[in-house]
Structure 1
Amino acid sequence: MNKTLNIIGGGMAGSEAAWQAAQAGIDVVLHEMRPNVATFAHRTGHLAEMVCSNSFRSDDNEQNAVGLLHWEMRAAGGIIMAMAEQHRLPAGGALAVDRDPFAAAVTAKLMQHDKITVQHDEIVELPEDGHWIIATGPLTSGNLAEAIRTETGADALAFFDAIAPIVHADSIDMSKAWMQSRYDKGDTEEERTAYVNCPMDKTTYEAFIDALLAADKTEFKEGETAGYFDGCLPIEVMAERGRETLRFGPMKPIGLTNPHHPDVKPYAVVQLRRDNKLGTLYNIVGFQTKMKYGAQTNVLRMIPGLQDARFARLGGIHRNTFINSPTLLDDQMRLKSRPNIRFAGQITGVEGYVESAAMGLLAARLAVAEITGASLPPVPATTAMGALVSHITGGADAKTFQPMNVNFGLFPPVDGLKSGRRGRKDRYKAYTDRAKADWQAWLAAVPALA
């Protein structure tokens, strides 16, 4: 019997899956079509390349569900979290990374592993036999997407993802902008000054919204009716929902004091986060956009401090494909019609780098158990990992299934705790304490995979 695990896609999920299986002693072939077949968003041939953002979001593992997911992946020896820690950038309470060295480090670790073979080929059909994980992410090739549609007998679901612009740091006017993390959050001075802040008064904000709404934008092709994932909305779409939406979203001014005018409260603030270790590049936080390039530079240069900005990368939009997992996958993440194939990562309907990598980790461990004949207990739904996989493999309503970030709303309630805002801190701590204990017990259930 062939005990090799084949993985299609070398993004976050595929890279984590390859590492987990190889560390358990399984031979892995990782199929990545780049750089031979390019995508809209990727710039390199590196595995685990980050395109939309350089942030893994909050690293708080006691009060935040994604921080708990970080903790669970670290406890499982995850490569994505280990390399993120090595290439960490100051970002207040968030985990942001120097994206190119991070991807290069993940690539090197996988390429050097004696159990992993990386093949740069495009898989265009669903494999008939063997052990496979499909982790092709939001930019699944057209041929493979068509093969999935043919097999499942249903159209693949889709939405649109946007990416934010990146600015050269030396083109930011610091006589107008300043360095500060919101609420001065962070344990060091570097953490407390991790963001560049560009303030707006009411007149400037209103003019910015007018220009944003009037700007030329990329239009969808005929027949494209997919919507957006709420966690990655283009700024102009947010503005269309109401003129104040941005001011209560990515441009909220709370927790910030402008040292140039400390007695003047900004009406809105645009934040930029360091994008590389050198501090030469900054990305505009929450400023995903579908504006055309010419309009984009004009509108963004209306932001005080960015009037002379030079852009290392402008924003853009791309189609993001995912399957209706509650209908198509079993509780082992296998395709019901072809149980030799598992799906992992963003294509399953989880949203975010961390969630995608987590589903790669889990799919690999389930595949390894199957290959080796080990008996694995179900992943506890009380853990962040278990809450996510339970959601995508049956917990969600298949008729309204949409991409989902990890959140405490997916967890079973903890009995006896107060509800509402006043009891939230204690409730979240109870969730994380329970999850950590249950996750450690699950990892220890099969020592060979721990």
Structure 2
Amino acid sequence: MPLEQENILIVDDDVQILELIQRLLQSLNYHTYKAISVKEAIAILQDQSIDLLITDLQMPGVDGLQLVKYVSEHFPEIPKLAVTGFPSIDGALKAMKSGVMDYLIKPFTKEELKNAVQKSLALSQKPVQKTKRKSQGNTVYSEIIGQSESMQNVLNVIDRVKDNKATVFIKGESGTGKELVARAIHYMGRFSAAPFVAVNCGAIPESLLEAELFGYTKGAFTGANDNRSGFFQAANNGTLFLDEIGNASMATQLSLLRVLQEKEIMRVGSQKTEKIDVRVIAATNVDLRELIKNGRFREDLYYRLSVVQIEVPPLRDRKSDIPLLVDKFLFKYGVEYKDRIIKISDEALLALERYDWPGNIRELENSIQRAVIMCDKQVEIGNLPKHLKFQIDFPKQDTFLSLKEVERLHILKVLEATKNNKSKAAEILQIDRKTLRDKIK
């Protein structure tokens, strides 16, 4: 009888059980791979095409339940069958919730194994069911989305400052949406018809920043062939957003202090002052207090800038907002790339909510953009990058194996790969058959 097409991976730390299951499956004409640890199993999964995972749940170090979770997210198309010699209702429930399709209790018969394997392979062919999540309601303020308590606090402050020209200082990690907050302050208030000018102080060379901010006169420096207005003049009567303010030089900081105190500017190369009416909103992703301690930022300017402070929370501290942000990006990129609205499975959304997002909303948006491109009709767990899926922290190996033990394990591995062909194994090991026989003994 010919071999079945399915490749089955068996994982168990008990070598006797491992070989027993392998023999039973081979008698049913399945092609098998075996591993005695989770780490070895993952190596096989990455190198081979596996159609079914059979794993023991109770294993030392990293257990089989973690392997099931890993496979559920990294290889969601592979069905999982759990075997255990220590059955419990709680263990069975955990296994089923992690994605196990069937549960076998040791000892089991060949017929029970056969039925469980056939059932698991058959169930893996069923179409993925789409589930609907409850509507989260309308929580959009301008372009800002958030229903978490921390974001509601941000929105409350925006609401209080949007109709006056008090200087605002926005703190937050990179990618949290500091510019969105600045734009909301401007465009949701009564000065929305006036200009909004955004300046990334970190993107302008330090030697040019002052000239770009305040303008310059003809002949002020090499290349200044005409009089030119700066960003402050462009934002007159409106809002100037100074992002990455911590990158400004000490000389530029002194000029900014004068602007905030006197409400007037002086172009580079000029002796005349110009009155301006500009609301300044500054932002940074670094701790300005640390810069002050190190003599790299003026303390008096810091207090001038932070009349009102807004701290935008990182995404890891507002995970309840992730479904709302995901829906926004799915709509945006679904329409752009697929000409339709794309949905997301509950499993994929759970993976997004579990991740800590060091790159914050910008990283989330990039991940959704990629997932929409990679998916068909719905974003599934398999469409997400590997680093978003369940990861296993293998315990550090505190003890080193002896040379004899390393040799023994390597010989066993070669014998397994050559299906116990001692001539072939001796050739690979570059020893003669007699030496190999002695080592086996």
TM-score by length of 1: 0.25
Identify the structure with the greater helix proportion. Answer: 2
Higher relative contact order (CA 8 A, sep 6+): 1
